Homo-oligomer: A and B are copies of this chain.
Amino acid sequence: MNESTPPPRLIGLDWGTTGLRAYLMGEGGRVLESRERPWGIRHLPAGGFDAALDGTLAGWPDLPVLASGMVGSRGGWREVPYVELPATIDAVVLALDVVDSASGRRVHLVPGLRNTTVADVMRGEETEIFGALALQPVLAGRSALLLPGTHSKWVNVLHGRVVDFATAMTGELYTVLRHHSILGAGLGKDDPPFDQDAFLRGVQSARDSGASGALSRLFSSRALVLTGELALPAVPDYLSGLLIGEELRGAIAAGRINTSTPLQLIGNPVLCRRYVVAASCFELGMALPPRGAAALGLWQIARAAGLIPHVESD
Q: A residues engaging B (CB < 8 A)?
A: 74, 82, 114, 116, 118-121, 151, 166-169, 172-173, 176-177, 179-182, 210-220, 223-224, 226-227, 229-230, 246-247, 249-251, 253-254
Contacts and interface: CB of A to CB of B under 8 A. Distances in A.
Contact of A219 (B116, B120, B223): B120
B119 A168 contact: no
Residue from A82, A151, A214, A250 having most chain B Cβ neighbours under 10 A: A250
22 contacts: A74-B226, A82-B227, A118-B217, A119-B227, A119-B230, A120-B220, A120-B223, A168-B216, A169-B215, A173-B215, A176-B177, A179-B180, A210-B211, A210-B254, A211-B254, A213-B213, A213-B215, A213-B249, A215-B250, A216-B247, A216-B250, A216-B254
A312 B217 CA distance: 46
A216 B154 CA distance: 10
A169 B151 contact: no
Nearest to A255: B212
A224 to B, nearest CB: 5
Contacts of A214: 213, 215
Closest 4 CB pairs of A and B: A213-B213, A212-B254, A167-B219, A211-B211
Contact of A223 (B121, B168, B180, B181): B121
A223 B176 contact: no
B216 A166 contact: yes
A246 B176 contact: no
Given A119-B220, A167-B223, A172-B181, 19 more contacts: A119-B230, A120-B219, A120-B223, A121-B223, A121-B227, A151-B182, A168-B215, A169-B215, A169-B219, A173-B177, A173-B181, A176-B180, A179-B180, A212-B251, A213-B213, A214-B215, A215-B215, A216-B251, A216-B254
Contacts of A116: 227
A214 B118 CA distance: 13
Contact of A218 (B173, B182, B253, B254): B173
A212 B167 contact: no
A74 B223 CA distance: 12
Contacts of A211: 210-211, 213, 253-254
Contacts of A180: 176, 179-180
Contacts of A249: 213
B229 A119 contact: yes
Contacts of A168: 215-216, 218-219
Contacts of A230: 119
B253 A212 contact: yes
